[in-house]
Amino acid sequence: MPFDYDVVIPTLGNRPALLDQSIASALGQTLPPARVIVVVDGDLIAAAEIKQRWPAVDVVAVAERSGTAAARQRGIESCSATWVTFLDDDDLWAKRKMAVTADYLERHSTCQAVRAVYWIFAEPGDPINEYGGQNVDMHGTSLDDLERAAIGMSPANDFEYLRIQGDSLGLLLERNRGVISTTCVRRSLLEGIPAVPPTMHAGEDHVLFCLIATRAEWHLIDEPLLFYRVHSAQYTRTGIGMARGIIQSRVTAWELCGDAAPRSLGTYGWTYRREFRPFLWAMLRPGKLVEAFRTWTASFQLLPYWTDRALLLIPEPVVWRWDHRVRRITAAAGPKKGYVLDSTAEDRPRLSVCVVTYERPTYLERCLRSLDENVSDDVEIVVVDASKESAEALVAGIRPSAIYVHAPQLAGWMTRSRNEALKRARGDVISFLDDDVVVSAQWQAALLAAYDDPSVSAVAGRTRNLQPGEDVYDQPVGRLRQDGSLTEGFASIQPPTTPIDHGIGANMSFRRRMLARLGGFRDDYPGTAIREDTDIFLRVKRAGGRAVFATDAVVDHLPAPHVHGARFDLRYKLYARRNHMVLLARYDGIRSRMLRRWIVHELRSVRQVAGLRRKAQRLVVITIGIGWGAAAMIRQAHWTPMDPARGDPLATQLRLRMMADAPDGH
């Protein structure tokens, strides 16, 4: 069936010269449109003049001005083609725009909504070099001049923020991502979503993007296909009502799309604070206290936690210093050897195995040799090494195809090393193994067999410690009890794919899409990262995923000595209680009964210890650990259960990288 599309151009009719250029760019496509529909909002005289100048264009005249959202909706209702495209009355399409779009849609038959990157241009003589944090690529007037100027150029801006496929709605709720003049959407999809409220006078395109994302994922064409004009008459450039407009668009998006949101409103606090703070302080500096107060209170609709509302008032210089620190950390952990930003579903391996290590080369060598002997050649292996000295030669000598990342700045942060591995891992299933395990011959087959069930999002494999009697466990394996305690039994023999609440970090795996949705591992469990593995499993459960114990996915765990301290020493016991309190508070809320029951359970356990001296020692350890945990959970948890998805900027960066062309599934 031939590709057919209609073009919708809403306009006030008050800038005919710019409108004529836009219409000409639509009619001049190498793949012509079925119809160009110009909706003139509130100016019947201008509508008649447009029809006279452009007889081939369908002009819809609206007698009373109703706003861009209503005008665009009138255009959608007038369309009859399979696809609908949008063009603002001051933007210009590249001549191949729709031919390239049609080719993309033919190659991606399931795509229902697609956008493209774009050039930013200004009129000659306009001194503007930056717009909304983005650089102006060129200056020009006619489409021919702009296309000639673009030959051999690359866009001056980074458009990675447009790459949202796989988490389109979640990322669009953070901020507006894209320009409506690059979009092409299937008409049947537009007819099945609510109309953008006509009362909106700013951010209506953002709300439309969100509504579309409730039904389909947004694809991206990497070739720039639009010349986006910036000029003095542009609403967004003048900044009139900018703060209120942005808040209104975000609130409206949540009202219309919140039920489908993959994350709760509270997880977006950091993003909204960063977006609203410049507007607030632009009012506070000159003493516009009333306007600042109104803007601040209006933001409460998007900031449910008082901590976020208070942090919004922090002066910008303080925030800049913190941002500089975050950027420095991000740069230090940025792309290194082996990093792949994008991979298509066709070239992505089924399984990636991630091993994080620190100052244990002998154990790492043993682990890698067992992997090389027992997993197939198409399995991707990623090693993140926080040691002072590089072991790249060792890794390459065992598995030349392995991805090795030397990151000594991550020493002491196992979870950050795991997240670093996630930036490189390309598999649909991502496994994490400790560097002191040895995999069995059937491990790979048994692990992947568990994922044949599409409802499974996480798998914990059997982890033998080679201790007598460990293959029998008389309690349910891997469960979180009502009193906040955990059952274990991960060395025992159980029925295949036994349901569990949590797993063991030495031998655990997850679907790529689930890890991306969660934003990776929480990296603030100190010590030896005690409970970080339990945390990720419980977040999978809270997100609606299912975790199982795969008895046949066996590894032998031959524990290596800790670089600092010893397992189960005093330091370990204190961190264990501190981290466990934070875990329960995050999962069930600070005021949960489960947390209170666990505290009571811990205090009562003193009775089980023989001898007065040992009782006193245990009581001191429990008291210090609980006190430390209480102080930590007040900072790191909420009164109610936390959203399982991380919302901090580093998590967003990780989510974007992992979601690029992610396959369908859990």
Q: Residues 221-252: pLDDT tens digits?
A: 989 999 999 865 454 443 335 677 788 889 99
Q: Determine the pLDDT at residue 25.
A: 96
Measured CA to CA, the distance from residue 436 to residue 506 in angstroms comes to: 8
- 514 burial (CB, 10 Å; 0-12 / 13-18 / 19+) is buried
Mean pLDDT value across residues 166-177? 86
Measured CA to CA, the distance from residue 284 to residue 313 in angstroms comes to: 10
Rounded to a whole number of angstroms, the CA Rg of the chain reads 28
The band of 305, judged by pLDDT with boundaries at 50, 70 and 90, is confident
> What proportion of the chain, given as a percentage, has pLDDT over 70?
89
Residues 6+ apart with CB under 8 A from 83: 3, 4, 5, 6, 105, 184, 185, 186, 187
Q: Determine the pLDDT at residue 212.
A: 96
Number of H helices, E strands in the chain: 24, 22
Phi, psi of 241 (to 5 degrees): 65, 20
Residues 6+ apart with CB under 8 A from 400: none
Q: Which residue has the tokens 């991000």?
A: 330
Mean pLDDT value across residues 655-661? 70
Q: Determine the pLDDT at residue 189.
A: 95
> What proportion of the chain, given as a percentage, has pLDDT over 90?
49
Q: Determine the pLDDT at residue 236.
A: 42
Instruction: Please report, as a single letter, which amino acid is at residue 563.
Output: V
* Token pair belonging to 157: 């801006």
Please give the residue that has the higher pLDDT: either 631 or 321. Answer: 631
Residue-wise pLDDT for 280-303, tens only, equals: 888 887 888 888 898 899 889 999
Residue 325 pLDDT greater than 60, yes or no: no
Q: Determine the pLDDT at residue 276.
A: 85
Measured CA to CA, the distance from residue 463 to residue 66 in angstroms comes to: 65
Compute CA distances 391 → 333, 364, 400, 528, whole Å: 18, 9, 13, 22
Q: Determine the pLDDT at residue 346.
A: 47
Q: Which of 37-46, 206-215, 632-641 has the lowest mean pLDDT?
A: 632-641
Residue 90 pLDDT greater than 60, yes or no: yes
The DSSP code for 480 is B
The band of 218, judged by pLDDT with boundaries at 50, 70 and 90, is very high
Please give the residue that has the higher pLDDT: either 345 or 445. Answer: 445
**For residue 614, how many other CB atoms are within 10 A of its CB?**
11
Residue-wise pLDDT for 450-495, tens only, equals: 999 888 999 999 999 988 899 999 899 999 998 899 999 999 999 9
Helix (H, G, I), strand (E, B) or coil at 67: coil
Measured CA to CA, the distance from residue 460 to residue 555 in angstroms comes to: 11
Instruction: Tell me what the pLDDT averaged over the chain comes to.
Output: 86
H or E segment and range at residue 22:
helix 16-27
Mean pLDDT value across residues 631-658? 83
Contact (CB, 8 A) for 597 and 484: yes
Residue-wise pLDDT for 404-423, tens only, equals: 999 888 887 788 899 999 99
Mean pLDDT value across residues 150-176? 83
Residues 6+ apart with CB under 8 A from 470: 464, 491, 492
Residue 576 pLDDT greater than 70, yes or no: yes
Residues 6+ apart with CB under 8 A from 57: 23, 27, 36, 37, 38, 50, 51
Residues 6+ apart with CB under 8 A from 151: none
**pTM summary value:** 0.60
Residue in 537, 515, 504 with CA at minimum distance from that of residue 433: 504
Measured CA to CA, the distance from residue 225 to residue 119 in angstroms comes to: 8
- Residue 587 C-beta-side C-alpha neighbours within 13 Å: 27
Contact (CB, 8 A) for 567 and 559: yes
Residue-wise pLDDT for 545-572, tens only, equals: 899 999 999 999 987 665 444 455 677 7
Measured CA to CA, the distance from residue 334 to residue 481 in angstroms comes to: 40
**Beta-strand pair 113-116/226-229:** unpaired
Three-class SS of 397-423: HHCCCCEEEECHHHCCCHHHHHHHHHH
* Token pair belonging to 78: 């007038």
Measured CA to CA, the distance from residue 158 to residue 164 in angstroms comes to: 14
H or E segment and range at residue 46:
helix 44-53
Q: Determine the pLDDT at residue 238.
A: 38
